Structure 1
Amino acid sequence: MRPPFVTAALLALTSPCPLVAQQTSTSRPLVTPKDYGRWERLVNPVLSANGEWVAVPINRVDRTAELRVYGLRAGADTTPFVAAEGRDPVFTEDSRWLAYRIGQSEAERTRLEKEKKPVRDGAGVRRLDTGATTTFTGIRRFAFGGSRYLALLEYGAERKGDPGDPDSAVQSADLIVRELVTGTEMRFGNVTDFAWQDSALFLAMTIETPDRAGNGIYLYTPRTGQLTVLDGSRERYRGLAWRKDGDDLAVLRSRDVNGWEQPTHEVLVWRGLAKTPRASRFDPRGAPGFPEGMRIAEHRVLSWSDDGQRVFFGIQEWFTKPDTTAKDSTRAQGGGDEPADVEVWHSSDQRIIPMQRVRKEQDRQATYLATGNLASGRFVRIGTDLQENVTLLEGQRHATETDGRSYRFENMFDTPRRDVWLVDLASGDRRKAVEGVWYFHGASPGGRYLLYFHDDRFHTYDITTGARADLTGKLAAIFVNQDADWPVRRQRRSWGVGGWLDKDAAVLLYDRHDVWAVKPDGTGGVRLTQGAADSVRHRVVRLDPEAKSFDPAKPLYLEFYGEWAKRFGYGRLSLKGAAPQGAVRRLVFEERRISQLAKAKRAEVFTYVID
């Protein structure tokens, strides 16, 4: 049996990497039912940044798994390193180290559950040039600190928790900080969470002791060994958030209030930790505009604005504690009988009762997005409906919120229709930018345009001027998906959006077979591919998950699908602005399923999977 894995530079294909020896055609045995469990499935290969290593997770039908690590350099040993039950591989930025999770086999998991013992994962770390490998047992989470350190958080004692106190079940445990080269380890106790600063200058930790006397947030500097207490109290600390590429830190600190269920939170902030730290906080009690009967909740992850002037958090309704001394009059009148189970559904309910039951926990944790200005203390509520989507735009000066309240009845039978509101994060002002659309495709990466599909055409709304533009009405192509023809649906979906070019210069739109680069102000567009000629569908591949847009100075990679021959493959197209420079170059195109194209971060090395 040969698994579906090929690695390639896309210009010169290398030989396939057989993971199991093949039989000759004359001696190949029959596959019997006892062999079914050995059937393998490849799961998301991961390349090192320099392209010299690839980690390949493998899952089998019998629910066993392993991680295989191959060297890709010329002359490298083709024998892979194999980690039984290995998964979730992560390379360091310098490509010298690999860390991975070690799970439990199905048989071992069943045995532990039968014996009522906890099922706990482990972790491994491997030095790639020497092959030296260290494994750890009982590891709940791990993360590299740059290319020099590895932090591993163990499992804590099992606690059931109090249903009325969501923090009571949080496990505190030992945190191991390992220097990779020397193997030196530091251990910290009673840690509930940790977060590395981007350059690994600092490691922030939240601490919670059994009696809560030692609770606090601690800052560890691994290069010097210094440990600093940033804040300490009997409260709980949650949601560590570093500002991207900075040394500013935010965290939630709980605050119990008599008579109210669940705690509210303050946002504690430290800026300039590498030089002269400045501490501040956002307290909802004194924040102008903070609504009564609401609390800052722990369920949404804290985040920063790019300029470091705002933090974003979630708020939700805050309820008073019920009167536990009051008697249940209905039970007294019922003569001691247990109340009957009755489910009442109203026609105005958007979700049927089984869905409400399934989403009960998600609904309990749902929050409204809000922001606080750290300098002025001004509060701005962004979200107004827990069932709608709120998105921050680039630069965090505006946000969008969808609103389907005007269409709730028709949305029960059709693709949800919504308005789109634009929120000014400085003033809190709201204006309706888009009305009554079924397909809203969000904002451009530069934050200037809102893109939506309506009346079988793509449109934009310019945030700066308020102008609207029809992007595709005059183009010689059909952008509506004519195959998506279901009853009731009033607006069929489009063929899709491939992304944007840098500086919002153009948006990449799909017709049935081709990719178009269309100017967002409606002044025209150009077809980049010629897939319609031989019925080959072309779609854009996003190789850099961190990039918000495509650089027109770099090649654009495309995936192919031949509709009639069922052929799959990948190709490359050079761009200059929004005009194609020559035809698409087909790099691989075969009558086999080809998928999962990936690229090394700092090398022209690619992987793809063949089924």
Structure 2
Amino acid sequence: MKKYFIFSLLLCSLVGLAQDKPKPPLTWKDVGSWKAIPAFGGTQLSPDGSWFAYVLNPNEGDAELVVRKTGDTTKIKYPLGAGTFFNMSFSDDSKWLAFKVYPKDKDKKAAAKAPAAKPLPDKVFLINLASKKKTEFDRVRSFDFNGEQSSVLALHLTPATPPGPPGADAAKGSDLLLYDLVSGKTQNIGNIADYAFNKKGDWLALTVDAAEKAGNGLWLRNMTSNVVMILDNDKASYKSLSWTEKGDGLALLKGIKDEKYKNDLYSVLGVKNFSGVPELVIYEPKKDTVAFPKGMTISGNRTPYWSEDLGRLYFGIAKTEPAKKETPKAENKKDTLKKESDAEKLAKIKADTSIKTIEDLAKAISKVKADTTRKVAAAPADANKEKPDMTIWHWQDKRLQSRQQVLENQDKNFNFIANYDIAAKKFLRLTDSSLKSLNVAPKQLYGIGSDITNYELDNNLDGQNYADIYVVDLSSGKRIKVIEKHYIPNFYASPIASPDGKKFLYWKDGSWMVYNMESQASLNISSKAGTSFVDVEDDHNVRKPPYDVFGWTNDSRFVLVGDGWDIWKLSVDGSATPQNLTKNGKAEQIRYQNRYVLDPEEKGIDLAKTQYIRTYGEWTKKSGFAALENGQLKTLLWEDTSLGSLTKAKKANAYVFTRQTFKASPEYYLSTSAGLENPQQVSQNTPLLNNYAWSPSVKLIDYKSDKGDKLQGALFLPAGYEAGKKYPTIIYYYEKLSQTLNSFANPSYPGGGWNPSVYTSNGYAVFIPDIVYKLNDPGMSAVWCVLPGVKAAIKTGIIDETKMGIHGHSWGGYQTSFLITQTNMFKAAAAGAPLTDMISMYNLIYKNSGSSNGAIFEASQGRLLPPWENWEAYNRNSPLYHVKKVNTPLLLLHNDADGAVDFTQGIEYYNALRRLKKPVVLIQYKGENHGLAKLPNRKDYAVRMMEFFDYHLKGKPAPDWLEKGIDRLRLDDHLEKRAMSEE
């Protein structure tokens, strides 16, 4: 008995020891298998709210779909393969779920190694949610349920055999399966290029594209009677199917090949009267020799659509492009002459009677050769000789040549908008070279045009945006300029049309204005509000930018705008006093940030219905949801988490939202109450989270900048944190980021090597301070904000001030490169793609857009006036200018194909530091842009950056590449060894 007792005690002790065993840190090797719900497109709620589907996608490997019944614990899992964007859809009656299944990761990798391998097709699984029966369909390109009817699943297949070489008559169509959800029977319709159901799902539009265009046309299928009508049939191509929102009108393009032109010549087809016998309307430019502009055609690059009253068709027009005449391969004239002279030579030699001996024959051949040489020398210049490959950059170019190159395809595809009045049989061109941009307002009564012609050069030089604003009558084409040189400091300052299509809201010199397109009059609607709507927190070099616009009310009588804190209701005609709907925002420092659009078909804000708004505590970092109902505000949720992503089921009072903290991944919660009471968790995100050591909490650090600005920073504690113990710390920044206090950082292989969750799991503290900027001092602003923040965080006793590293990428990389010229506080620094010489950077090109960096410096992130007015400020804020003061070991990441911050910026800094014999290592990944895109490169740099910090901040041994570099001849061996060690 005594032995048994001792054995029991020993067993209990061993169990206790096993339970207390600390969890391992998350390594970069582990990150590959980490699964999480994608931030976009990874979830879906059924229309009746009874089912919730979500994807768990690993960083490497195969994803799975989890289908959860919201009323109980029923859960089904399905393999999805290796996808990037996941496509799933519930039927409108919530009885079925269809989703794409992609090839497995291992099969994709195997195919990638075999260039001749056939493309791996996708599948679709169809699930009967009541019986859980699964039906599989192979080679599916796309799929759709037939709208509100929910009786059929359409599946457009990828051809079983790859199509032949493209040509004028190459078929674009493939099989379309119509699977009857009730009977389980399938119908196959061949040669379908495109298909589209209307909203109700009682009509299916089909375009046929067969080999040699035999039988091509537009078909309509009545899904109730299954009768198919051929509305148009021609040796043509049909494309760009577009149903009206109500499903009572269909528009598309019909293209005919004409050998004289490079592209098809298009007509517009419109179909209406779906309650009776569908009526086809065709507008053919070639038959309209009076109104349609000569030398133009209907564009194939704009989808046509009906006006709301089905009275007009809208479409694009563009210049015709003559086909290039095929120049036969011109033979080299030297070759031609040579062939001719060979024939002549033979004839002459045969005809020469003086040839008696071998010596005579040799003389005759020499004479013929000499004649040929003289003929070649006298031959005319080759008409097909090589042309110079060059570009002319002119100081008056409105857009840089590099910008023109980036936009070349967009410019080629540009088209002007026009319409065709069905009853009047009248074509009307609405835009031309003097007014290219036009937004058609709701109800299609007016269009709001924007012309930057007079300002384009200056806009591109200094980044300050101006435009002339026009109103166009869409029935007559008459246009009037209503605002000259309209200043657009940000997105919200541009005209925003009302739901009735008769007015638009715009911003003018700190005030909200409404222009009435019928009366042609403007009115200041914000002057009596008693608050400012100017975004005073925007520290870019723009004048009086506005805060957010929440939208028009559905009756077009009011607009809702923000003052940075509260939401204001402004009367469009000035008849009502401006009203603060939320009241307590500014007083309690709560930001009413954004309104959730729960009905995707809404036409303006209906204040008779409950409006849901996200709230955020500026200094507490709390978040929540508030409801506006009958003019009254009610707080629904308010907590120390980050809440967001509120959606509603289409046909039920079922609301889903997310909740997360730094240590708890975003989970989805469902409430069947309009007040969001008693929410139930319906997801299980990041299933591996509990397997690893994790940050236990985060502290909010309050501090002031050296210029007196009130700021905050988020200090994330390391896994296994013990009070009183100091930890190595990474300081990371990018303008203002303290709002990430309650944001979960999913472990991944990032494009810049940084992931805070991996670092805290591995025993680092992470501090993220805010930066605000002063004009002409972007670098010094980092000094004035980051250093006081770090000093405030050190006072917590958590940070080991002798083991601090800093890191930032892009603009954050610039801050890093600059900070180490101003302080020796940090033991190590890693800078990704940094700006280092503000003068040379100003005059370089942002290659990704083709634009000059100057505009970014003057009106955007650079926050500097032009250098010739400001040389000292450019030098003062350039890391390169202060390079001699650098004593901090630096790891630089800069790629040779960086299209945002030119590679030369990294090289300049590296070479200067190297010349001064400062400790610097530059890592360059060939062909990569501003951030790393290729997975092997992302994995490699993430590991190297942590190795760099581990050596400097934790005292771990330095890897060879860091200690003594890797010779070019040994690089392949080095990379191979690392790859083997990762396996």
**TM-score band w.r.t. shorter chain:** 0.7 to 0.9
Matches within 5 A, 1:310-329: 310-325=312-327
Aligned to 1:127: 128
Matches within 5 A, 1:118-157: 118-146=119-147, 147-156=150-159
Q: Distance in 1 between matches of 2:407 and 2:103?
A: 29
The aligned counterpart of 1:342 is 390
Structure 2: 5+ residue stretches without partners: 1-17, 334-379, 661-983
CA shift in 2, pair 1:241/1:337, >3 Å: closer
From the superposition, tell whether residues 503 and 397 of structure 1 become closer, same or farther in structure 2 (CA, over 3 Å).
same
| Structure 1 residue 498, shift from structure 2 partner | 0.5
Q: Does 1:467 align with 2:521?
A: yes
State the alpha-carbon separation in 2 of the partners of residues 492 and 367 from structure 1: 34
Per-residue CA deviations over 1:462-505 (Å, capped at 9, x if unaligned) read 11211111121221212111122323x3x342111001212112
Structure 1 pair 42/569, CA: closer, same or farther in 2 (3 Å)?
farther
2:97 matched residue in structure 1: 98
Secondary structure in 1 matching 2:32: helix
For residue 622 of structure 2, what is the amino acid of its counterpart? R
Match of 2:511 among 425, 450, 457: 457
Shift of 1:145: 0.5
How far residue 557 of structure 1 moved from its aligned partner, in angstroms, is 0.6
Residue aligning to 1:3:
none
Distance change in 2, residues 1:294/1:36 (3 Å): same
Asked if residue 37 in structure 1 is aligned to residue 29 in structure 2, the reply is: no
Q: Secondary structure at the match of 2:211?
A: coil
Amino acid at match of 2:201: A
SS in 2 for 1:292: coil
User: Retained in 2: the 8 A contact 1:367–1:386?
Assistant: no
Q: What SS class does the counterpart of residue 397 from structure 2 fall into?
A: coil
Partner of residue 527 from structure 1, selected from 571, 580, 604: 580
Aligned equivalents of 1:320 and 1:447: distance in 2? Answer: 39
Deviation, 1:246, is 4.3
Superposed CA offset, 1:165-221 (max 9, x none): 8x8777311000111122111101111001112222221111111121221122223
Which amino acid is the alignment partner of residue 52 of structure 2? Answer: V
Contact residue 250 and residue 306 of structure 2 kept, 8 A: no
Q: Which region of structure 1 is more displaced relative to structure 2, 266-275 or 147-156?
A: 266-275
CA pair 244-225 structure 1, distance change in 2 beyond 3 A: same
Report the equivalent of 1:305. Answer: 307
- Give, as a single letter, the amino acid of the residue that structure 2 aligns with 1:197: N
Secondary structure at the aligned position of 2:494 is classed as strand
TM-score, normalised via structure 2 length = 0.55
In structure 1, how many angstroms separate the alpha carbons of the residues matched to 2:20 and 2:197?
Answer: 54
Match of 1:416 in 2: 465
Distance 1:34 1:404, change over 3 A: same
Residue 72 of structure 1 and its aligned partner are, at CA, apart by 0.7
CA contact 2:445–2:502 (8 Å) conserved in 1: no
From 70, 74, 77, the counterpart of 2:73 = 77
- Separation of aligned partners in 2, 1:26 and 1:567: 34
Q: What per-residue deviation string (whole Å, max 9, x for no partner) do you get for residues 507-533 of structure 1?
A: 110111111111112343101112112
Determine which of 556, 578, 590 is the counterpart of 1:504. 556
Corresponding position: 1:186 with 2:234: no
1:545 maps to 2:563:
no
2-structure distance, mates of 1:428, 1:496: 32
CA drift at 1:429: 0.8
Q: Given that residues 169 and 213 in structure 2 are in contact (C-alpha distance below 8 angstroms), is that contact kept between their aligned partners in structure 1?
A: no
Q: Is 1:374–2:456 an aligned residue pair?
A: no
C-alpha separation in 2, matches of 1:403 and 1:160: 45
Alignment of 1:359-508 (within 5 A): 359-384=407-432, 389-412=437-460, 413-437=462-486, 438=488, 439-487=493-541, 489=542, 491-508=543-560
Residue identity matched to 1:79: K
- The match for 2:683 is none
Change (3 A) 1:484 1:265: same
1:325 Cα deviation (Å)?
A: 4.4
Q: Does 1:46 align with 2:44?
A: yes
Specify whether residues 267 and 411 from structure 1 end up closer, same or farther in structure 2 by C-alpha distance, changes over 3 A only. Answer: same
1:387-444: CA deviation from partner (whole Å, max 9, x where unpaired): 9542221211211121111211221122421122111111111112333221214201
**Using the alignment, how far apart are the partners of 1:57 and 1:169 within structure 2?**
38
Q: Structure 1 422/170 Cα, relative in aligned 2: closer, same or farther at 3 Å?
A: farther
What secondary structure is seen at the aligned counterpart in 1 of 2:555?
A: helix
The residue type equivalent to 2:97 in the other structure is L
Range with bigger deviation, 553-562 or 283-292:
283-292
Q: Which has the larger radius of gyration?
A: 2
CA contact (8 A) 1:281 1:374 kept: no
For residue 594 of structure 1, give the secondary structure of its aligned residue in structure 2. strand
Counterpart AA for 2:272: R
Stretches of structure 1 lacking an aligned partner (at least 5 in a row)? 1-22
Q: Equivalent residues in 2 for 1:17-28 (5 A)?
A: 28=23
Corresponding residue for residue 10 of structure 1: none
Matches of 2:174 and 2:273 in 1, distance apart? 29
- The root-mean-square deviation of aligned C-alpha atoms, in Å, is 2.8
Residues 106 and 441 (structure 1 numbering): CA distance in 2 closer, same or farther, change over 3 Å?
farther
Report the alpha carbon displacement of residue 535 of structure 1 after superposing the two structures with TM.
1.2
| Secondary structure of residue in 2 paired with 1:476 | coil
Matched residue, 1:56: 54
**395 and 372 in structure 1: CA distance in 2 versus 1, 3 angstrom threshold:** same
**Most deviating of 386-395 and 232-241:** 386-395
- Aligned residue identity for 2:205: A
Q: TM-score, normalised by structure 1?
A: 0.87
After superposition, the C-alpha distances for 1:301-338 in whole angstroms (9 at most, x for unaligned) are 1211111111111111112233444999xx98589975
Name the counterpart of 2:202.
201
Q: Quick one: distance in 2 between partners of 1:114 and 1:387?
A: 51
Confirm or deny: 8 A CA contact 1:155 1:171 kept in the other structure.
Answer: no
**Alpha-carbon contact 1:478-1:512 (below 8 Å) kept:** no
- Aligned 8 A contact 1:68 1:83 in 2: no
Measured after TM superposition, the shift of residue 375 of structure 1 is 2.0
Residues 271 and 448 of structure 1, relative CA distance in 2, 3 Å threshold = closer
The structure-2 alpha-carbon separation of the partners of 1:415 and 1:138, relative to structure 1 and needing over 3 Å to count, comes to: farther
The 1-side partners of 2:433 and 2:145 are apart by 37
From the superposition, tell whether residues 211 and 257 of structure 1 become closer, same or farther in structure 2 (CA, over 3 Å): closer
Going from structure 1 to structure 2, the CA distance change for 1:158 and 1:355 (only over 3 Å counts) comes to: farther
For the pair 1:601 / 2:650, whether they are aligned, the reply is yes
Mapped contact 2:61–2:105 kept (Cα < 8 A): yes
3-state SS of paired residue (2:31): helix
| Equivalence for 2:400 | 352
| Residues 343 and 63 of structure 1: CA distance in aligned 2, closer, same or farther (over 3 Å) | farther
Q: Which whole-Å CA distance do the structure 1 matches of 2:611 and 2:20 have between them?
A: 41
Q: Quick one: distance in 2 between partners of 1:353 and 1:120?
A: 41
Amino acid at match of 1:60: P
Give the match for residue 109 of structure 1. Answer: 108
**Could you say what secondary structure the match of 1:410 adopts?**
helix
Displacement of 1:605 = 1.5
Determine the C-alpha separation between the residues in 2 that align with 1:311 and 1:159.
34
Q: Which has the larger helix fraction?
A: 2
Q: Distance in 2 between matches of 1:360 and 1:468?
A: 38
- Which letter does structure 2 place at the counterpart of 1:153? H
Q: Distance in 1 between matches of 2:19 and 2:198?
A: 54
CA distance in 2, matches of 1:291, 1:359: 26
Please say which of residues 213-222 and 453-462 is displaced more in the overlay. 213-222
